[in-house]
Amino acid sequence: MLRLEKRPQPSQVWTYLTPLLAVVITMIMGAALFAALGKDPVAAITTIFWEPLFGEFAFYYRPQLLIKGAPLVLIAIGLSLGFRAGIWNIGAEGQYIIGALTGAGVGLAFYPMESWVIFPLMVLAGAFGGWIWAMIPAVLKLRFGTNEILVSLMLVYVAEKLLAAMALGLMKNPEGMGFPGSRNLRQYDSAHNAELITGSGMHWGVVAAMIAVIFAYILLNRHILGYHIRLTGQAPRAARFAGVRPARLVLFCLGTSGALAGLAGMFEVAGPAGQVSIDFNVGYGFTAIIVAFLGRLHPVGILLAGLLMALTYIGGELAQSNLGLPAAAIQLFQGMLLFFLLAVDVLTNYRIRLSRPEVA
Amino acid sequence: MTLTKLLATATLALGLATSAMAQDKTKVGFIYVGPIGDGGWTYEHDKGRLAVEAHFGDKVETVYQESVPEGADAERAITQMALQGADLIFTTSFGYMEPTLAVAGKFGNVKFEHATGFKTAPNLSTYSARFYEGRAVQGHIAGKMTKSNIIGYIASFPIPEVIRGINSAYIHARKVNPDVEFKIIWAYTWFDPAKEADAATALIEQGADVILQHTDSTAPQAAAEKAGNVITFGQASDMGEYAPMPRVSSIIDNWAPYYIARTQAVMDGTWESVQTWDGIGPGMVGIGEISSAVPEDIKAEALALKAALADGSYHPFTGPLKKQDGSDWLAEGEAADDGTLLGMNFYVEGITGDIPN
């Protein structure tokens, strides 16, 4: 019989090595999967991991990594704060949508006026939208003891309905011949989240993601609030004795993650996506959960994990169109990454013991 | 010795010839919104792609990317294809309009074709099918076949194309059966078997014995089959596995002739930016085999209607027609212009309920 036994002291080295090991195992198993599909496994893996960075068209893909990675990092940083304290915001996708709606709403309300104040107002509105949407599960949890996992997740579907209603109704482009979707914010200078340097991929969302990483790092390592967050996650009882007020922590963690997710949505709708449309959200809020854990809930780790995730997306698309790999195989490949990370994690924290079945 | 040399030269010549031919290959890219196995919309576009391959053989190379989300990711997928040397790129969903326009602006040498949109550029064409012509035939059969006089309609999104379909089906059902009533459910999806099945079941419970669908899965067909005595029509593809009952006919999207013609135009250097909106006549809209469940006389009438639509002698939106609010729309004998049809945002007189906003 195999059984798992908790290691008294998990190895520090392995804690940091496991994400890398998980990536390597994913590469090997992914190669096997692609080979089973009749594709050249080496070509597939190099297309996914090498081509976007150093291939012929890397000049285009490298900036795309930032564009794809920024919302993931921004959302994951917010989520990681709560996850460390045992506060589970699973509904970042919904907060992302609402942030995009409030942000775009402010921009569209000013159309066609041109002014420098419009964009900062949109940023504030985006953060506020995400924050208020996250306050719903927070307040319900504090007031009625509801489970924030369920409430925040359910609110994603509410947000999706709201998005569809906005794209078909209030925010519909009056010059769009009756088709759903708002005006294109990229064609409205004051509201456009443009590249700061042409061709670099750097837009305000990327800048915001970097600032969030730095702030989260300082918060967790240098600030009393960060200490409270870590303490609550590791020893809730001790935290209460140390004077942590759980209610404030819930409000702070859900609020911050909501605001950051809202910001991500706002930067996306004003930049890369350009318009409020029915299919605006593509799962960043859920993928960010993987990114947060892949990055060990550590700000720097999340930054790297976000970029890695972006790489598998962009490389995966390349593999699809160049090698004819089915989209499902790429999704499977990304799923493997989380699966192996969790598997390797188990072995970091537990050891496998062989025990003989008791003789009756 | 001479023989070997001769052979070597021949091989060399052959090698040169093949490499020259490889360079002459026209590369055609396709961006799909769903998986190629969806059995509906994307499946039919991919059939068009395969037809291009079959038609041109070695002269063409096709690439595709499936399940591309509509939005920022689409722009990257399209750019990627352009970078990889595609000469012609078809983007096959409405939501790709803005991304296609953006990429077309960056790659002046690449030709783009966007399905169902309305924005064009010197190197960006649009193409769509006059599905409402097929809806007219469906409406005729539905009006004749219904016994409960209630026809259920599973609509996707309240956009002009869908509203056009509802109006066209209603006008022609009403024409042959003045007592007919339409019950419309908005599913807010193009493809979601569970939702579509729920909608079909709800409509059947409300007494509908004909189900029309503007969504792409076969789930409503299965729901109708279970209920028995309910007829349906295949959407986007033939859905012939449900014939002869419940599926009595279908509207089939046939993109192959268009894709072949446009690829040929790129090869010949005659490609120009156009706005194509073709119907039954040019073969972009097909009417699937009318099954044995439909009596011969109704079938003959439906085929006559199809023939009149095909040769252009009849337009599905011909006056006198009024809008839902009772105001006049088309005078006696007047046919609707394309502009009004493309932006259609109203029901015709007689349909109950409001278009959701």
- pLDDT level of residue A236 (50, 70, 90 thresholds): confident
User: What pTM was computed for the model?
Assistant: 0.82
Asked if residue B2 has pLDDT above 80, the reply is no
Contacts of B84 in chain A (CB under 8 A): 57, 321-322
For residue B4, pLDDT beyond 50: no
Judging contacts by C-beta atoms under 8 Å, the chain B residues touching residue A318 are: 80
**Per-residue pLDDT at B6:** 46
Pairs of CB atoms within 8 A across A/B: 87
Give the residue from B104, B129, B154 where a domain finishes: B129
Write the CB contacts of A292 (distance below 8 Å, at least 6 apart in sequence): A76, A77, A79, A80, A83, A302, A305
Q: List the single residue in A with minimal CA-CA distance to B339.
A: A177
B294 lies in some domain: yes
What is the per-residue pLDDT for A224?
A: 87
CA distances from B325 to B160, B318, B342 (A): 18, 18, 20
Going by their DSSP bridges, the two strands B285-288 and B247-253 should be labelled as: antiparallel
Whether A282 and B160 lie within 8 Å, measured CB to CB: no
Residue B266 lies in a domain: no
Whether A7 is in a domain gets the answer: no
State yes or no: pLDDT of A334 exceeds 90. no
For the segment A256-300, what is each residue's pLDDT rounded down to a tens digit?
A: 999 999 999 999 999 888 899 888 888 899 999 989 988 889 999
| Domain boundary residue, one of B110, B129, B148 | B129
* B63 contacts on A by Cβ (under 8 Å): 321-322, 324
Tell me whether B77 touches chain A (CB under 8 Å). yes
Locate tokens 């039919």: which residue? Answer: B44
Residue A31 lies in a domain: no
Give a yes or no: residue B105 inside a domain: yes
Our CA-based measurement puts residue B197 at a distance from the nearest CA of chain A, in whole angstroms, of 20
Domain span at residue A175? 69-298
3-state class of B91 per DSSP?
strand
Question: Residue A213 is which amino acid?
Answer: V
Residue B110 belongs to a domain with what CATH number? 3.40.50.2300
Flag whether A160 is in a domain: yes
Range of the domain at B31: 2-129
B83 vs A60: CB contact, 8 Å cut-off? yes
Residue B180: helix, strand or coil by DSSP?
Answer: coil
In a domain, B350, yes or no: no
Taking the Cβ of residue B61 and every Cβ of chain A, the question of whether any pair is shorter than 8 Å is answered with no
pLDDT at B69: 86
What pairing do the DSSP bridges indicate for beta strands B60-65 and B111-115? unpaired
Q: Are residues B161 and B219 in the same domain?
A: yes
Is residue B189 located within the same domain as residue B313? yes
Q: How confident is the model at residue B15 (pLDDT cuts 50, 70, 90)?
A: very low
Burial of B166: CB neighbours in 10 Å, binned 0-12, 13-18, 19+: buried
For residues B169 and B295, membership in a common domain is answered with yes
Residues B187 and B304 in one domain: yes
Nearest to B284 by CA among B45, B109, B28, B64: B45
pLDDT of B70 higher than 50: yes
Q: What does the pLDDT average to over A70-74?
A: 96
Contact call for A179 and B81, based on CB within 8 A: no
Instruction: Indicate if B24 and B76 belong to the same structural domain.
Output: yes
Average pLDDT, chain B: 89
Where a domain ends, among B81, B106, B129?
A: B129
Check B79 against A60: CB less than 8 A apart: yes
Which of A169, A179, A321 has its CB closest to that of B65? Answer: A321
**Quick check: B70 contacting A, CB < 8 Å?**
yes
Residues B89 and B198 in one domain: no
Q: Does A320 touch chain B (CB under 8 A)?
A: yes
Q: Does the pLDDT of residue B103 top 70, yes or no? A: yes
Predicted confidence (pLDDT) per residue in B112-138, tens digit: 999 988 889 999 999 999 999 999 999
- Residue B322 domain-assigned (yes or no): yes
Least confident of A5-9, A21-25, A217-221: A5-9
The pLDDT, as a whole number, for residue B73 is: 87
B chain contacts of residue A195, beta-carbon cutoff 8 Å: none
Which has more confidence, B12 or A328?
A328
Query: Is residue A311 in some structural domain?
Result: no
Average pLDDT of the residues of chain A = 90
The closest of A158, A167, A107 to A132, measured between CA atoms, is A158
Encoding tokens for residue B85?
Answer: 């040397």
Q: Residue B7 pLDDT > 80, yes or no? A: no
Q: Assess if residue A51 is contained within a domain.
A: no
Please tell me the distance from the alpha carbon of residue B138 to that of residue B152, in angstroms, as a whole number: 12
Number of domains in chain A: 1
A314-318, B176-180, B234-238 — most confident range: B176-180
Residue A327: inside a domain, yes or no? no
Which of A168, A175, A203 to mutate to probe the B interface, most B CBs <10 Å?
A168
Q: Pick from B81, B118, B357: which is nearest to A321 by CB? A: B81
CB atoms A274 and B98 under 8 Å = yes
In this prediction, residue B357 has a pLDDT band, given cuts at 50, 70 and 90, of low
Q: What is residue A227's predicted lDDT score, i.e. its pLDDT?
A: 87
Q: What percent of chain A has pLDDT over 70?
A: 98
Residue A240 identity (one-letter amino acid): R
CA B246 to chain centre: 22
Same domain, B194 and B50: no
Which residues of chain A neighbour B72 with C-beta distances below 8 Å? 67, 268, 272-274, 282
Q: Indicate if B198 and B106 belong to the same structural domain.
A: no
In a domain, B348, yes or no: no
CA distance B175 to A254: 59
- B225 with B215, same domain: the answer is yes
Q: Would the pLDDT of A226 be above 90? A: no
Say whether both B97 and B148 belong to one domain: no
For residues B22 and A255, the model is more confident at A255
pLDDT above 50: residue B18:
no
Could you give the number of structural domains in chain B? 2
In a domain, A352, yes or no: no
Identify whether residues B179 and B88 lie together within a single domain.
no
> Percentage of chain B surpassing pLDDT 90?
69
Q: What's the pLDDT at B10?
A: 45
Q: Give the per-residue pLDDT at A7.
A: 82
pLDDT in tens, B173-214: 999 999 999 999 998 888 888 999 999 999 999 999 999 999
- Closest partner residue to B84 (CB to CB) among A181, A275, A322 is A322
pLDDT at residue number A357: 62
The answer to whether residue A134 sits within a structural domain is yes
Residue B199 lies in a domain: yes
Q: Say whether pLDDT at A59 is over 70.
A: yes
